Structure 1
Amino acid sequence: MNIHGGNIWDFEGPPLLDYSSNINPFGVPDSFQRALLQHMEEFTRYPDLQYREVKRSVRQYLYAGGAEPDVSVILGNGSAEIFYKAMTWSSIMDVVISVPTFNEYARAASFAGKPCTAVPLKEEEEFRPNLSALLPYIKNGTLCLLCNPNNPTGQLLLGSELRPFLDELQRKGAYLMVDECFIEFSRQSLAQSMVEAVPSHPNLMVVRAATKFFGMPGLRLGYGITSNTAWAQELEAQMEPWHINAAAVVASRCIFQDLSYMEKTRRWFETERPTFLSGLLQWDSVHVYPGHACFFLLRAVDTARAEDIYTELLQEGILIRRAEGFENLSARHFRVALKDARSNAHFIRTIQKRGL
């Protein structure tokens, strides 16, 4: 069974304040809303089977301000489709991940029939990523999949850590896939992106999506880049025709150029994250893990308290993400998203009012 945040459909009654999903609170960019109304006629015809315009937009976005390198762009119905299809490549023998992390990686490996080794991160080290702990499990044909910043811990790997790790994998004949779906929220995180390493490392694929940063999980537009032509071609051969819909095609024309939306989002993140964190750190019955993402991993003092927190917040119309589905987390752990200032203030007032 798939377990994810944002599953508001299981609950009846008034709308919930959803702190279980890590989505940009600004929601759908105005630029896309306007473009959609202006291009409704596109829904009367099939999209380009090769999605040339969308791929060009992605390439220009990722390599803005410089010469566009010779890299392949792979599109997915969300980033999840790319994870699932990429693992079917015949050159990949097995998969290595750190846990806790996004649970679809292990599931995708299982679907592809590839053994998956889950290397546990140490809670006493705040679940800090440990690349050296992965190396003994990596050999020729291994795909190592990392989320940066990691979901659900929020921990960020530096580019200076990832690049020598990538080089070591290349020497071993192994591959690295980096999920950067949360990296665009801050300039500090974005500076650690591995996008620039793609042209010179054919054993690397970087994956992002419009889901989180552009606030449109329902659009289902993911994209990956690699300089490995064989990997890209085999991956694309697995895709169904017209798997990217016309709305996503229209979105690609405007959201990747919407500098105003990007700047507004990063200003919000850089202002609101420390403010909300300050409030969470006053919460005596929980431990807040350090991170760099648009969400926070927390641990209650005991399992009973964690269940009380979930239940009482739900009674107040607030939904948080329990640790179900995350390997190497306990029932004491839960995740809370970063939302707009008004909602975050309401969240802090609620836990104070309830004495949680």
Structure 2
Amino acid sequence: MGDARMPKTRHGGAREDYLERFGCLPQDFSANVNPLGMSPAARQAAIAAVDQAVFYPDPNSRRLVGAIAAHDGVPESCVVVGNGAADLICRLAAAMAPRRALVLAPTFSEYEDALCQAGCEVVRHELLLQEDLVPTDRLLDDVVPGIDVVFVCEPNNPTGLCMGRPLLVRLLERCRQVGARLVVDECFNGFLPDPKGSSVRSLAVSNPHLVILAAFTKLYGMAGLRLGYLMCSDAELTHRVAAVGQSWPVSCVAQAAGVAALADADFVERTRCVVGLERERLMSALECLGLEVWCGQANYLLLRSRVENLYELLAERGVLVRDCSNYHGLGPGFVRVAVRRHQENDLLIETIGDVLSDAADKGGEL
């Protein structure tokens, strides 16, 4: 079975790493995907599209681009699709070739990674614990001349917290004033109580300084199919983003699944209902165990425990969570857990309770 310690991975969903260490698959709370699984409509469309996989996919993803444009109310010329949001983040950084960028800390590490690969200097805006890790007007002060692009995640990952549309609008105006672009990652927007009211994607049609990132990964449960898109009204930028990618960035299976997913409104509503109820229940139960819990609005929660090796202790009991000690601005004891179905969440609560009880018995502080 090899080394029985679970490595601290760069991202969640490290099922193969777990299998390699423990010889079995875990109950996975580390990846923030839809607890209901894949959209049934997307699954059926993907299966049907396999017969077409002998042919090259449409390099321009015409049907998918049309479906996204209709769904989000934007011109097709504003949409670029890719092999997941991570692919588009890398392509966007390469296409913009910025000299200096601003990112939050903590936030999704792919922004900084892609920017550094593009030869960009990265400046971090630190979110403060005394401000509950929520962006405030302090962020505007860091958008100064010389900043070429600002990346934000709404809701943020790993906190699940939103800065709110009013601050996003002020941030966009500040970016315009200094000549910077604002990239807003809305990959978790669909889990919010009011997705449309929280989004700024409607502004992308008229404001070339704004780029929106979105994906089918989380809400539609399509992580393994790799499908994402960006929206921007700057035709020159969208052309460059498309040009720096491979010739066939999205498979025919992913294209078909994406078109079908966008029409599966009932699945989305059912998901939002389940996640909303279970998130509140899970948050309350974890707080009762003595953990510090951030009131995330998406399908995951950020926790802090005084048992600093909580990640490893849970892994030994068959439960995989996302260790967050490698996020800038966090540290030991921080973990992120996905909101899953009722019975699965009960297992998480029980297992964390057992770990904390054992630590207390051994004289550890809780």
The normalised TM-score by structure 2 is 0.90
Equivalent residue for 1:115?
Answer: 121
Equivalent residue for 1:149?
Answer: 155
Percentage of identical aligned residues:
29
Q: Would the aligned equivalents of 1:70 and 1:199 in 2 still touch at CA under 8 Å?
A: no
Q: Would the aligned equivalents of 2:13 and 2:30 in 1 still touch at CA under 8 Å?
A: yes
Q: 1:69 to 1:76 in 2, by over 3 A?
A: closer
Q: Aligned letter for 1:14?
A: C
> Is residue 298 of structure 2 the alignment partner of residue 306 of structure 1?
no
Partner Cα separation in structure 1 for residue 196 and residue 281 of structure 2: 21
Partner Cα separation in structure 2 for residue 224 and residue 163 of structure 1: 18
SS at the partner of 1:253?
helix
Shift in Å at residue 184 of structure 1? 0.4
Q: Would the aligned equivalents of 1:103 and 1:325 in 2 still touch at CA under 8 Å?
A: no
Partner Cα separation in structure 1 for residue 349 and residue 142 of structure 2: 43
Equivalent residue for 2:332?
Answer: 331
> Is residue 17 of structure 2 the alignment partner of residue 10 of structure 1?
yes
> Is residue 321 of structure 2 the alignment partner of residue 315 of structure 1?
no
Q: Would the aligned equivalents of 2:140 and 2:174 in 1 still touch at CA under 8 Å?
A: no
How many correspondences in the alignment?
A: 347
Q: Aligned letter for 2:344?
A: S
> Is residue 215 of structure 2 the alignment partner of residue 209 of structure 1?
yes
Shift in Å at residue 33 of structure 1? 2.2
Partner Cα separation in structure 1 for residue 47 and residue 139 of structure 2: 51
Equivalent residue for 2:295?
Answer: 290
Equivalent residue for 1:348?
Answer: 349
> Is residue 39 of structure 2 the alignment partner of residue 38 of structure 1?
no
Partner Cα separation in structure 2 for residue 293 and residue 83 of structure 1: 21
SS at the partner of 1:197?
helix
Matches within 5 A, 1:229-268: 229-268=235-274
Shift in Å at residue 134 of structure 1? 4.5
Correspondent of 1:160 among 166, 169, 175: 166
Partner Cα separation in structure 2 for residue 172 and residue 153 of structure 1: 28
> Is residue 275 of structure 2 the alignment partner of residue 269 of structure 1?
yes
SS at the partner of 1:187?
coil
Shift in Å at residue 171 of structure 1? 1.8
Q: Aligned letter for 1:349?
A: E
Q: Aligned letter for 2:206?
A: S
Q: Would the aligned equivalents of 1:76 and 1:243 in 2 still touch at CA under 8 Å?
A: yes
SS at the partner of 2:205?
coil
Equivalent residue for 1:89?
Answer: 95
SS at the partner of 2:198?
coil
My pick for the range that moved more, 136-145 or 165-174, is: 136-145
Q: Would the aligned equivalents of 1:157 and 1:192 in 2 still touch at CA under 8 Å?
A: no
- Which blocks of at least 5 consecutive residues in structure 1 are unaligned? none
Partner Cα separation in structure 1 for residue 320 and residue 97 of structure 2: 42
Shift in Å at residue 34 of structure 1? 1.8
Shift in Å at residue 210 of structure 1? 0.8
1:242-300, Cα deviation, whole Å (9 max, x unpaired): 1111111111220000011111101112211111111111021x211222121111111
Q: Would the aligned equivalents of 1:119 and 1:134 in 2 still touch at CA under 8 Å?
A: no
Equivalent residue for 1:192?
Answer: 198
Partner Cα separation in structure 2 for residue 139 and residue 256 of structure 1: 39
Q: 1:25 to 1:226 in 2, by over 3 A?
A: same
Q: Would the aligned equivalents of 1:73 and 1:225 in 2 still touch at CA under 8 Å?
A: yes
> Is residue 59 of structure 2 the alignment partner of residue 49 of structure 1?
yes
1:275-326, Cα deviation, whole Å (9 max, x unpaired): 1111111021x2112221211111112xxx120x223322221011112431
Partner Cα separation in structure 2 for residue 323 and residue 180 of structure 1: 21
Q: Would the aligned equivalents of 2:154 and 2:185 in 1 still touch at CA under 8 Å?
A: yes
Q: Would the aligned equivalents of 1:19 and 1:337 in 2 still touch at CA under 8 Å?
A: yes
Equivalent residue for 2:30?
Answer: 20
Q: 1:149 to 1:90 in 2, by over 3 A?
A: closer
SS at the partner of 2:288?
coil
Shift in Å at residue 352 of structure 1? 2.6
The normalised TM-score by structure 1 is 0.93
Q: Would the aligned equivalents of 2:204 and 2:232 in 1 still touch at CA under 8 Å?
A: yes
RMSD: 1.8
Shift in Å at residue 190 of structure 1? 4.0
> Is residue 140 of structure 2 the alignment partner of residue 139 of structure 1?
no
1:27-85, Cα deviation, whole Å (9 max, x unpaired): 1121122223333331121111211111111111212xxxx446511111110111111
SS at the partner of 1:191?
helix
My pick for the range that moved more, 126-135 or 176-185, is: 126-135
